[in-house]
A = this chain, B = another copy of it.
Amino acid sequence: MKEVLPQFNSTFSIDCVIFGFDGGDLKILLIERNNEPFKDWWALPGNLVGENESLDQSASRILNELTGLTDIYMEQYYTFGDVNRHPQGRVVSIAYYALLRLGGDKAVRPISSYAKQAHWVNINELPKLAFDHQQIYDKGLEKIKRRIKHQPIAFELLPEKFTLTQLQNVYELILGKKLDKRNFRKKMLSFGVLKDLDEKQKGVSFRAATLYRFDKRKYAKLFGKEISF
């Protein structure tokens, strides 16, 4: 029924920089490719976009296929379309990043067909990546660095209940630098979006810290005002 649009041999794919935080390290999910080109290389998870899925849906599907998770925070951030970025033809790739919490029962055991294996890799120990994936990763990290300063995305990496020290760790890992503890806590609490749970950490050696929860309601009320985390 539809008229055919002019076209040539081309296609598009999604690539995902999937960040996970396990309470200690910040990691991304990499796959070891099972096919040419770049067989046996490490690469960002990605796939072609299906005929009847939107870009956002496709990104969610890719993440779900690897991790089994749904409803994960994902954001499209850039599209890579150099003519020769894929050796087998023109592939334009739309990049997404995702943020999720690792560990516990959600431990995430990745399975997939086009990959020999998938691994969570510390972002400070990344191997050489296939295609232009290093560039895609770099740009993703850069975007997240900016975004974390203005939007409450750090909470996506943390369990529902978390301590201020954990929150600070997330910021320090993403920004790649140390922050002053007192100033950090003062500022975070001043936004009024953290709810003190009157509850302490359990199962830790040494002094237990107070647990907090991110209060989405209060955050929603702040909209319009510029808020800088």
Interface positions, chain A 1-41, Cβ under 8 Å from B, are 2-12
Q: Give the distance in Å from the alpha carbon of A159 to the alpha carbon of B137 in the complex.
A: 37
A-side interface mostly:
loop
Which residues of B sit under 8 angstroms from A52, Cβ to Cβ? 83
Which residues of B sit under 8 angstroms from A11, Cβ to Cβ? 5-7, 10
Q: Which of B3, B9, B54, B81 contacts A88 (CB 8 A)?
A: B3
B48, A4: Cβ atoms closer than 8 Å: no
B89, A8: Cβ atoms closer than 8 Å: no
Interface positions, chain A 73-108, Cβ under 8 Å from B, are 76, 78-79, 81-83, 86-92, 94
Q: Give the distance in Å from the alpha carbon of A81 to the alpha carbon of B11 in the complex.
A: 13
A55 within 8 Å of B by Cβ?
yes
Q: Give the distance in Å from the alpha carbon of A32 to the alpha carbon of B7 in the complex.
A: 23
B81, A5: Cβ atoms closer than 8 Å: no
A51 within 8 Å of B by Cβ?
yes
A49 within 8 Å of B by Cβ?
yes
Q: Give the distance in Å from the alpha carbon of A15 to the alpha carbon of B10 in the complex.
A: 18
A53 within 8 Å of B by Cβ?
yes
Q: Give the distance in Å from the alpha carbon of A54 to the alpha carbon of B81 in the complex.
A: 6
What are 18 sample pairs from A and B whose C-beta atoms fall under 8 A apart? A2-B87, A3-B88, A3-B89, A5-B11, A5-B48, A5-B89, A7-B11, A8-B51, A10-B49, A12-B12, A49-B81, A51-B90, A54-B83, A55-B82, A76-B78, A76-B79, A79-B79, A79-B94
